[in-house]
Each structure stands twice: as C-alpha cells, then as structure tokens.
Amino acid sequence: MAKRKKETEEKKNNSLAENVHIKGAGLIQDEVITDTLTGNYMPYAMSVILSRAIPEIDGFKPSHRKLLYTMYNMGLLQGGTIKSANIVGRTMQLNPHGDAAIYETMIRLSRGNETLLYPYVESKGNFGKAYSKNMMYAASRYTEAKLAPICHELFDDIKSDTVDFVDNYDNTMKEPVLLPVTFPSILCNVTTGIAVGMASSIASFNLKEICDTTIALMKNPDHVISDTLLAPDFVGGGYVLYDKDELEKIYDTGRGSVKVRAKYSYDKKYNCIDITQIPPTTTSEAIIDKIIELVKTNKIKEINDIRDETDLSGLRITIDLKRGIDPDKFMTKLYKMTPLQDSFSCNFNVLIKGRPMVLGVKRILLEWIDFRLECVRRRINFNLEKKRKQLHLLKGLSKILLDIDKAIKIVRETESESEVVPNLMIGFGIDEVQAEYVAEIKLRHLNREYILKRIKDIEQLENEIADLEATLASKNKMKKIIIGELENVSKKYDSGRKSEILYDTSEDVEEEVVEVADYPVTLFLTEQGYLKKIKTANLRMSGEQKVKEGDRMLPEIECSNKDELLFFTNQQQVYKSKVDDFIDTKASVLGEYVPAKLEMAEGEQVVYMAVLTDYSGYMIFVFENGKLAKVDMSAYATKTNRKKLINAYSSKAPLAQAMYIKEDTEIVLCSSAGRMLLVNTGAILPKTTKDTQGISAMKLKKNQTVTSIHLYREGEFEKAWRFRAKNLPAAGALLSDADIAEQITF
C-alpha cells in the first residue's frame, strides 16, 4: 500500500511540474495595441453587425428569424396557443442565448405589447406595453402565444427551396438564412438596433401604401415614391407632421426625422384633456414626469391634476384643467415643452448580401424586388424539377400500359429480387428510376383503369412544365406573380392608417403669448437669498416676516406680478426670471431659495435683485477700488429666452454694491474712511458693455475702500455742495456734526 501511495504522489508531482513549465506561461509580452484590437475586437464587432443588430432585406434580425422559424416548426401557424416557456425552450436549439433574451424578443413581436404595426405573434396574457415602462410583462410560464395569420406570408414558400438553409450552432438541425417574405416587411415594422460603430432605425409604413409603391416601382422604375407612400405610420397612432422636404430626404437617402404628435380629446363636462395616442419614441411615464417637472418649476400653471388612467381599453393620460383655459392653446404649449411631440430619427441601415448599407426607401424596395425575384425563380425551379420528375415517371408507366401482362410475367419469373428492376429496364426500355417506380406499384393498381388515369396527367404536366419554363425565361412574368402576391397581401392584411397626417401646421409655428395675471405684490429678499412674494392686499393681515436664524431681511420692493427680475450674483453672472415664476406666499414661511430655484452654481449667491417693468434705465455698479460703472439696461435684454448671462459686471475689482435706477439721479458713495461723495449719474456716460470697468469716481487713500452707495435723499446733508465734486474722481467730504444729526433723523 505504501509503495502504491508513493507512486501516486510521484505521478501527481510530475503532472504539476508539467503544468508549471508550460511554454510561455507567466511571461509578459509587448503587443501593439492596434494588433490586439484587430485580432480580438474586430471579430466581435463584425459579429454584432452581421449577426445581431442590423436587419436584413427580409426585415428580420437573426433573433427574430430563429424564434419565428421555431414556432413554425412547432406547428403554431394553425391551432391554438401554447405556453411561451415551451416556445422559448425550443428556440434555444437555434438561438444559443439566455431564455430571458429570447422571451423579450417574443414580447416585442407580439400583438399584446403593441410595438409593431403588423405583429407576427398572437399573444394571450400580459405581454406588457411598449408605451409604458412600468407595465411589465408576465413571466413566460404564465403567457401563451402562436404565430399571427400574416406569418403565412413568411413561411408558405419556405419548403420550395426559395431560400438557403445552414446548420445551427451545434450542427444538429438546419435553419433558414432569410425568410421568403411575400411583401416588403423591412419597411412595415419599426426596427431599431445598435451595433458597433453603426446603428439602424427604420420607421414603419402602412402595408397598403408599401405594397402599392412596390407594384408601381415594378411597373415603372422611375416612379416617384412620394406619390404612393404618403408618410410613416406608427402603431401608437398620433399625428405625423407632414414635411415634404424631410420625407423626400428620407425616401432618397434613408436619413432624416419625422415629427410625431400625440392625439387628444377634450371632455367639456369634466374640463379635462384625455391623451390617447403618443409618439413611438416616448412613454406615458416620461410625459407625466416632464409635465410634473414643468409644474414644479412654475412653467405650467394651467392644470390642477394629471394622472395615468390607462386600463384594458388602452392608453389614457388625463389632465384636469383650471377654469377658463383653452385646451387647444394649452396642448400647443405642451407640444413644445414635453415629449407629446417628438421626432423619430430615421437611419435605414440594412444588411444587403452581408454588407451594411444605408439606403433610401426606393433603393430598399428595389433590393427587395431583386430578393423576391430570386425567391420566385427558385420556387419555379423547384416546382419545375418536381413536375419533370413526375412526368418522367408517368412516361415510364405509359410504356407498361402497352403490355401489363409482360410486366407481371417479368416480375413473376425473376428469381432474385435485385434482378426485378434490371429486367424491367431491359423488357420495356425504361431507366432505373422509372423501373423502380413501376416495381413499387401495388398489385391492386396493376390494372388498365388505374394506369390510364395516371397517364392522362401527362398532357397536363407537359403544359404546366411549358408554362413554368416560359415564366422562368421571362422576368416580366415573374414580376406579375410578385404583383399578384402583393395585391393579395394588401387586401388580406391592410387595416388602414393608424397615424393621421397633418399637412397644415403653420398655425403651430406662431409663438404663443402667455398671459400673466397683473396684480400688485410686495417682494421680500433676505441676505442669504430667500425670496417671498406676498400680494400687497394681504400684507395687512400678515404678521412678522419669518427669516432663517442668522439671516436678515433686505428692504421690501413693491411691484407688479408681471414685472421681470434680474438676480446679480457674486460670480459676475445675472439670472433672468419673472415675478410670476415665484408662488404667492405669506409672511410665516421662509420663502423660495433663489440659488436653488434658478439652478445656480455651487457657492453662487445673490448680491442684488433688480425689478424691471421694461429694459429701460441703468445699472450702477460701484467697486471697492472707487470705480463706478453705468450700464444701459438694454445690454441685458435678449431676443431669445436665455435665463443666464455671463459677465454681468466687471470682475477686475470686488463689487461694493449694485443699484438699478430708472432714470438719472443723484447717488451717494460711502468709503471706509467715513467720507461721502455725491454724484449725479447724468454726468456719467452709459456703456452697453456689461463688464465695463467704469470710471474712477472716488479718490481713496491706501487701505481705504468704497463700502456702499445709496440714493441721495433731499436734505440729507446740511451743505450738499461740500459733497459734490466738479470733476471726478474726488475724495468726497466727512460728515459735519449737523450732518450726523440729520442722518440720525432719517
């Protein structure tokens, strides 16, 4: 035992030694990064492009094709539904991915999910909804599915050698490379995919319009696509905004965008709007969240409530309006501010014979016609060979008719079974295939009546073969077959347009004028940036103004609710807002924190608030170094609705104080030395450059600064001439005892 144990340990050690001394193991080698990328990443990129993300001319990605073909092999084109889990499990014979990925593919192809305009899977159970991210689908063990009737157009020709078949991933069964679709399915359903370095986004079109366009193109290669193909059509409905130039661009190049608008109805009884159809690029939750955000930021004030009332009957988002709101004008506003109007970006990237190509609608249809012509040619060839073989057998049978007794005698007198076929070949001058066929005829069929009935088919077969050969030789005849198929498909499966086309949208271009209520208000701003807006009529009933601990209330400002606000910050920026953007409140609250409401940068604080009726007047900036800048308010007016302007004032010296004046007046500059200077702003030339450094106004000694400014009050100084200067800069004057006493009385 000890000896055996020792031998075992030696073998183990030898094995370990061999593993340790693998050639090149553990060595670090230098590699060129481009070689590594080419060798490792490129195969992955090509696999994603060719075998995963980009659809082919039959309109399917490999995952779609494998699933549908599996369902076809399971006999789900007829009969009832079966459990989705069963289908998913069987599909894994062709698709070596997880069951979750396969099931999600089935979800997207199903009628219940409402992703496709023409779904390929009939569903039973909860398959979720494409227009809602919260309405999740049930597990595959609960739902059931089968193929939709339109799948007859995908598979009816598949057994006639119309397409190539290849081995599946483990070489245990065959699968089709493409499906022999009888209509241009590539343009009838939305298809999106993201590959490596490229993507695909194909809009869906109405089946009848696509079939009519394809027929017209087969009859006339110069056919204008837009004459028969009006616009894309989406399963979610809504309105497609007609833009001729953009559609022509999509039809020609395969790139562009289509604007889609939600559809709504107004319920006068309950004063609410019901949105029932939305663009395909958004969800009900995204729309509701955006509207709630706009309400919170005070950009929308017309609604009382919004809720999702989607049920088994379909999508419905309900918006309760305030009294007196025009629903059509309000929806026009929502279209501009929310995903209720969105653009579907088109990028018609299709795999054509293994090469990704971005093609316009016309080129895609021409490629599909070529593909379908090849399918029809192969089907005719298949049927022709089949009929030729049948004719060949029947011609051999016709020779037996000449002497049935002879045939029976040959079979009876042949000693060996293996000699029956050769003897029949010699006896009747027929080949081996014909002799095999004759030899396999049942004894009961060796009568004149049966053989005559079969021989009558010879003439019919010869005529059919002649017709098939003539069709095969004529491209026009094959096109007529395709046209007939397209007309049949259009008649059977067209259900009308889902998306309406809006041709005239000029009225929507006009800028909406938002009516703001006009009433007197009083603004209270604190040093730390809290703002309260209180109706002036309610001030009598208000108590003491509440402020945060350590904060202090600045002088109140009376104005109108329609006025505008400019908030100048410590980072030389100005934020534009409206008084109406702030909610009416009361004295017992802290107010709204301006830096947060206007989304200021971290550490940015309000240093001055200007209240404007219009952009007339001037901004006065006095800096600690004694300079004074006078900026025309027109410098802060913008044609666009920009909310923030940079370089609102000079950053060359620290700001002592800012002030807005409607017209030229007298102001008082105060220094840290106790001196005051009386300046008339009319003597200073206004600038239109916001960040001007201004002029030197007050002479300062070393370590002295300007601390503040204020409007001159009549009688503020006993001898005002002492504080006025003939020329600037000036040092100003110190207050006399009488001036100090006068200051205390103010």
Q: Which residues are catalytic?
A: 142
Q: How far apart are CA 569 and CA 575, in angstroms?
A: 8
Pairing of strands 500-502, 239-241: parallel
- Contact assessment for residue 393 and residue 434, using Cβ atoms and an 8 Å cutoff: yes
Q: List the beta bridge partners of residue 596.
A: none
Q: Residue 746: how many CA atoms within 13 Å on its side-chain side?
A: 13
In the numeric block, which tokens belong to residue 281?
């690029």
Q: How far apart are CA 306 and CA 273, in angstroms?
A: 9
In the block, tokens 């301006």 appear at 594
666 SS3 class: strand
What number of residues does the chain have?
746
Q: Read off φ and ψ for residue 82, nearest 5 degrees.
A: -130, 170
Amino acid at 288: I
Q: How far apart are CA 580 and CA 298, in angstroms?
A: 8
Q: How far apart are CA 176 and CA 94, in angstroms?
A: 11
Q: How far apart are CA 161 and CA 675, in angstroms?
A: 103
- Contact assessment for residue 371 and residue 58, using Cβ atoms and an 8 Å cutoff: yes
520 SS3 class: strand
- Contact assessment for residue 679 and residue 711, using Cβ atoms and an 8 Å cutoff: no
Q: How far apart are CA 574 and CA 647, in angstroms?
A: 8
Q: Exposed, middle or buried: residue 506 (CB in 10 Å: 0-12, 13-18, 19+)? A: exposed
- Give the DSSP letter of residue 684: S
Q: How far apart are CA 334 and CA 263, in angstroms?
A: 12
Helix (H), strand (E) counts: the chain: 20, 33
Q: How far apart are CA 128 and CA 15, in angstroms?
A: 57
Q: Residue 98: how many CA atoms within 13 Å on its side-chain side?
A: 3
Q: Read off φ and ψ for residue 598, nearest 5 degrees.
A: -95, 10
In Å, how far are 153, 371, 387, 538 from 471, measured between CA atoms?
Answer: 21, 17, 15, 91
- Contact assessment for residue 434 and residue 390, using Cβ atoms and an 8 Å cutoff: no
- Contact assessment for residue 379 and residue 385, using Cβ atoms and an 8 Å cutoff: no
522 SS3 class: strand
